[in-house]
Amino acid sequence: MLRGDITVAIRNAVMHELAEVGYGRLSIEAVARRAGVGKTAIYRRWGNKLEMVLEIVSDVAGRSVPLPDTGSFAGDLQLIMMIVHRALQHRIASQIIPDLMAEAARNPQIAETLQAALHTHQQAVGEKLVGQAIARGELPEGTDPEVAVDMILGPLYWRLAVSRSPMPDDYLEKLTTAVTAALKSTAP
Amino acid sequence: MLRGDITVAIRNAVMHELAEVGYGRLSIEAVARRAGVGKTAIYRRWGNKLEMVLEIVSDVAGRSVPLPDTGSFAGDLQLIMMIVHRALQHRIASQIIPDLMAEAARNPQIAETLQAALHTHQQAVGEKLVGQAIARGELPEGTDPEVAVDMILGPLYWRLAVSRSPMPDDYLEKLTTAVTAALKSTAP
DNA sequence: GAACGGCGGAACGCAACCGTTACGTCCTGG
DNA sequence: CCAGGACGTAACGGTTGCGTTCCGCCGTTC
């Protein structure tokens, strides 16, 4: 009968620790310290650091985003961009995500988890978005959903998580029109 | 009179170690082991891990890429994409870059170094590219170089360094036409 | 051929974590 | 009211890495 409040404290501590020092330097002792908890409480729940992080992260990341359908492609696009924008603005998320992405490049288990939590989901959204737009006649028949996803998420991710340069007010608008134009041009 | 061959061995070892375990877990002892070198040889050259990594990385990253001018915007774009594509395909680079990007989010010194080595440079290329295209009448007057850089590098980086999904043969072509169309639409 | 200096290797004391164990306390369910 | 179990604390032996020091070796330089 593990105590729920303790579990919550640990989960929070892991997320914060992950943001501060990254996966590579995350230590169980530091997590316990931060959570105000004994190491035993942690080892009672998970077998080791990797298992713990994967379970916690995939739980957080797995909370699915509702598939948008605002009625128009421009609207859907704007909505998605706002959602991603908000998510990547979040201080903790914007530290953890790039860190785990980098870690995934060398740890297959992490890669698999992120793949399951993000990529699959993201692909579904992309396909739905593009599918709707094609059905409405807003995008040409052969539009590639893969390219679409890259064009939508790539610049945002680059700007917010990599380049980290300040984002002018009209930036999202510009990006939206740019992406729309881009996708309209990719007919086969 | 430090021996050059030893310095080279250390530099290589650092790059490989960085790729394998990341900055967070990089240890001087491991670098020395891999380079077949005593720790003393390392401490004789740099004061600590951060200093060492920064010096080595900024040296490698600082080797400037020639600014393209193929005569047409489409050509410039294609060239840049090929260059970035090649760079991010490189096994070691594709591990180190996301890792340091993530690290930069929490270490100002790393952030500054990467900024100096990459961002400044990248901005210059973007401005030159867009400037040329505007002068040739290939892009509208008010095209924003910032957005352009994000639209060019974002999707590529996302695909190669984050999503890491396989890249179809015609992908670069599609991306090129998409980006061209996108930028033509961003007039004020 | 002697002095110099960079070299690898080994060991230093110190600190942080690992994963495990024992203990005593406190809460809860029966 | 009692048994069980989850809790925090503390300590365990072992590993790893830090940054430093000392040694003996060897190639230069003069």
By mean pLDDT, which of A119-133, A140-154, B56-70 is the weakest?
B56-70
Instruction: Kindly list the distances between the CA atom of residue A174 and the CA atoms of A91, B33, B57, B176, B185, in Å, as whole numbers in the listed order.
Output: 24, 51, 34, 18, 9
Provide the pLDDT for residue A16.
Answer: 97
CB contact under 8 A, A102 and B106: no
Radius of gyration of chain B measured on its C-alpha atoms: 19
B114 shares a domain with B41: no
Instruction: Tally the C-alpha atoms within 13 A of residue A10's C-alpha that lie toward its C-beta.
Output: 25
Residue after which a domain boundary falls, among A32, A60, A88? A60
Closest-CA residue to B147 (of A182, A34, A48): A182
Chain A partners within 8 Å of B88 (Cβ): none
Chain A partners within 8 Å of B99 (Cβ): 102, 105
Provide the pLDDT for residue A187.
Answer: 56
Chain A partners within 8 Å of B168 (Cβ): 146
Closest-CA residue to B32 (of B60, B11, B54): B11
**Per-residue pLDDT tens for A36-87?**
999 999 999 999 999 999 999 999 887 767 778 899 998 999 999 999 999 8
Q: Is the pLDDT of residue A188 over 70?
A: no
List the single residue in A with minimal CA-CA distance to B159.
A150
Strand D nucleotides, any atom under 7 Å from protein beta carbons: they are: 5-11, 16-22
| CB of A6 nearer than 7 A to strand D | yes
Report which residue is nearest nucleotide D18 when distances run from CA to C1': B28
CB contact under 8 A, B158 and A181: no
B84 shares a domain with B41: no
% of chain B with per-residue pLDDT over 70: 98
A162 shares a domain with A89: yes
Q: Is the pLDDT of residue B188 over 70?
A: no
Here the CATH number for the domain that contains residue B49 is: 1.10.10.60
CB contact under 8 A, A184 and B183: no
B93 shares a domain with B15: no
Q: How near does any CA of chain B get to the CA of A46, in Å?
A: 22
Tokens 């704007």 -> residue: A78
What's the mean pLDDT in B28-56?
96
Confidence grade of residue B186 (pLDDT, cut at 50, 70, 90)? low
Chain A partners within 8 Å of B155 (Cβ): 147, 150-151, 154-155
What's the mean pLDDT in B111-139?
90
Provide the pLDDT for residue B92.
Answer: 93
CB contact under 8 A, A147 and B175: yes
What's the mean pLDDT in B154-174?
91
A106 shares a domain with A78: yes
Domains of chain A: total: 2
Residues 6+ apart with CB under 8 A from B113: B54, B57, B58
B40 shares a domain with B86: no
Provide the pLDDT for residue B13.
Answer: 97
A35 shares a domain with A112: no
| CB of B147 nearer than 7 A to strand D | no
**Per-residue pLDDT tens for B141-160?**
989 898 899 999 999 999 99
Confidence grade of residue B187 (pLDDT, cut at 50, 70, 90)? low
What's the mean pLDDT in A94-107?
94
CA dihedral B161, B163, B164, B165 (to 10 degrees): -150
For residues B81-118, one letter each, b for 16 or more C-beta atoms within 10 angstroms of the residue's C-beta and e for the rest, the string is: beebbeebeeeebbbbbbbbbbbbbebeebbebbbebb
A51 shares a domain with A30: yes
Residue after which a domain boundary falls, among A12, A27, A60? A60
Which SS3 state, helix, strand or coil, does residue B117 take? helix
Q: Is the pLDDT of residue A94 over 80?
A: yes
Partner-chain residue, chosen from A95, A147, A151, that has the shortest CB–CB distance to B105? A95
Provide the pLDDT for residue A116.
Answer: 86
For residue B149, give both structure tokens.
């850089």
B167 shares a domain with B93: yes
CB contact under 8 A, B155 and A156: no
Confidence grade of residue A34 (pLDDT, cut at 50, 70, 90)? very high
| Domain of residue A49, residue span | 4-60
B153 shares a domain with B135: yes
**Per-residue pLDDT tens for B50-102?**
999 999 999 988 776 777 889 999 899 999 999 999 989 999 999 999 999 99
B97 shares a domain with B8: no
B12 shares a domain with B82: no
> Rounded CA gap, A11 and A17, in Å?
10
CA dihedral A145, A147, A150, A153 (to 10 degrees): -50
Provide the pLDDT for residue B1.
Answer: 84
Residue after which a domain boundary falls, among A60, A80, A98? A60
Here the CATH number for the domain that contains residue A161 is: 1.10.357.10
